[in-house]
A and B are shown apart, each in its own frame.
Chain A
Amino acid sequence: MNGRVVVTAAGVISPLGAGIGNFACGLYSGKSAIAPSPRFPGLCAADLGEFHPQPWLGNRGIRVLDRSARLLAVAAGMALADAGLLEPAAADGDPDVGLVCGTALGPLHSITAFDWSGIEEGPNFVSPMEFPNTVINSPAGQAAIKHKLRGVNSTVCAGFASGLFAIHYAAEFLRFGRARALLAGGVEEICEESVLAFRRTGIAPGEGAALWVLEPEESALARGRRPWLEISGFGCVQDAYRIDGFDPRAGGAAEAMEQAMADAGIATQELACIITSANGNAVGDTVESRALTRVFGPGIGRIPLYAPKAALGEAAGASGALSAIVAGLVLERQALPPKPGTRSADDPIPLPHPISGDYALVNAFGCDGNNASLVIRLWKN
Chain B
Amino acid sequence: MIRVAITGIGLITPAGLGKQRCWDTLLAGGSGIRTVASFDTSQLPVHLGAEVTGFDPGDLQRLDPETTGRASQFAAVAAHMALEDAGLEAAGLDKKRTGVSMGTTSGEPLFVERYNDIRKTAGLEAIPADMLPRYPCHVIPSHMAIELGVRGPCLMIPTACAAGNYAIGYGFDAIRTGRADVMLTGGADAFSRITYMGFARLGAIAPDRCRPFDCNRKGMVPGEGAAVLVLERPEAARARGAHIYAEVLGYGVSCDSHHMTAAHPEGDGAARAMQAALRESGVAAGDVGYISAHGTGTLTNDRVESLAVRKVFGAKANQVPMSSIKSMIGHTMGAASAIEAAVCALTLDTGWAPPTMNFEQPDPDCDLDYIPNRARKIDPRVVLNNAYAFGGNNASLCLAREEQAA
Q: In the complex, A369→B153 CA distance in Å?
A: 11
Partner-binding segment picked from A4-12, A145-153, A343-351: A145-153
Contact of A196 among B43, B132, B141, B198 (CB under 8 A): B132
Q: In the complex, A132→B179 CA distance in Å?
A: 34
Partner-binding segment picked from A22-30, A103-111, A281-289: A103-111
Contact of B134 among A150, A243, A255 (CB under 8 A): A243
Q: In the complex, A154→B254 CA distance in Å?
A: 9
Chain A residues with CB below 8 A from B276, complex form:
178
A238 and B151 form a contact (CB under 8 A): yes
Q: In the complex, A153→B259 CA distance in Å?
A: 14
Determine how close the nearest CB of chain A comes to the CB of B83; give it in whole angstroms: 15
Q: Is B13 an interface residue (CB 8 A)?
A: no
B258 and A145 form a contact (CB under 8 A): yes
Q: CB-defined interface of A149-178 with B at 8 Å, one 1/0 digit per residue?
A: 111111111110010010001001000101
Chain A residues with CB below 8 A from B195, complex form:
134
Q: Is B45 an interface residue (CB 8 A)?
A: yes
- Of residues 28 to 51 in A, which have CB atoms within 8 Å of B's CB atoms? none
Q: In the complex, A108→B134 CA distance in Å?
A: 11
Chain A residues with CB below 8 A from B96, complex form:
237, 255
Contact of A137 among B124, B254, B390 (CB under 8 A): B390
Q: In the complex, A92→B359 CA distance in Å?
A: 36
Q: Is B135 an interface residue (CB 8 A)?
A: yes
Q: Is B308 an interface residue (CB 8 A)?
A: no
B112 and A98 form a contact (CB under 8 A): no
Contact of B255 among A151, A237, A368 (CB under 8 A): A151
Chain B residues with CB below 8 A from A241, complex form:
146
A112 and B112 form a contact (CB under 8 A): yes
Q: CB-defined interface of A261-278 with B at 8 Å, one 1/0 digit per residue?
A: 000000000000000000
B138 and A141 form a contact (CB under 8 A): no
Q: Is A193 an interface residue (CB 8 A)?
A: yes
Which bucket holds chain A's interface residue count? Answer: 35 or more
Determine how close the nearest CB of chain A comes to the CB of B72; give it in whole angstroms: 9
Q: In the complex, A193→B119 CA distance in Å?
A: 12
A172 and B173 form a contact (CB under 8 A): yes
Chain A residues with CB below 8 A from B146, complex form:
240-243, 369
B200 and A137 form a contact (CB under 8 A): no
Chain B residue total in the interface (Cβ 8 A): 85
Decide yes or no: A240 and B201 within 8 Å by CB, A154-B159, A197-B132 being known contacts: no
A370 and B198 form a contact (CB under 8 A): no
A178 and B156 form a contact (CB under 8 A): no
Q: In the complex, A172→B153 CA distance in Å?
A: 14
A156 and B156 form a contact (CB under 8 A): yes
Q: Is A95 an interface residue (CB 8 A)?
A: yes
Decide yes or no: A154 and B154 within 8 Å by CB, A104-B136, A124-B200, A199-B129 being known contacts: no
- Of residues 310 to 346 in A, which have CB atoms within 8 Å of B's CB atoms? none
- Of residues 212 to 249 in B, which have CB atoms within 8 Å of A's CB atoms? none
Contact of A238 among B117, B142, B255, B390 (CB under 8 A): B142
Q: Is A56 an interface residue (CB 8 A)?
A: no
Determine how close the nearest CB of chain A comes to the CB of B257; give it in whole angstroms: 5
Decide yes or no: A131 and B43 within 8 Å by CB, A145-B259, A178-B253 being known contacts: no
A122 and B260 form a contact (CB under 8 A): no
Q: CB-defined interface of B152-188 with A at 8 Å, one 1/0 digit per residue?
A: 1111111110000010001001000101000000000
Chain A residues with CB below 8 A from B280, complex form:
176, 178
Chain B residues with a Cβ under 8 A of chain A: 41, 43-45, 95-96, 99-100, 104-107, 109, 112-113, 115-117, 119-120, 124, 127, 129-130, 132-139, 141-143, 145-146, 148-160, 166, 170, 173, 177, 179, 193-202, 252-261, 268-269, 272, 276, 280, 389-393
Contacts beyond the supplied A116-B119, A136-B107: 14 A-B pairs with Cβ under 8 Å: A93-B257, A106-B107, A106-B136, A108-B132, A115-B109, A137-B160, A138-B391, A140-B391, A145-B260, A153-B159, A154-B157, A178-B280, A244-B133, A370-B138
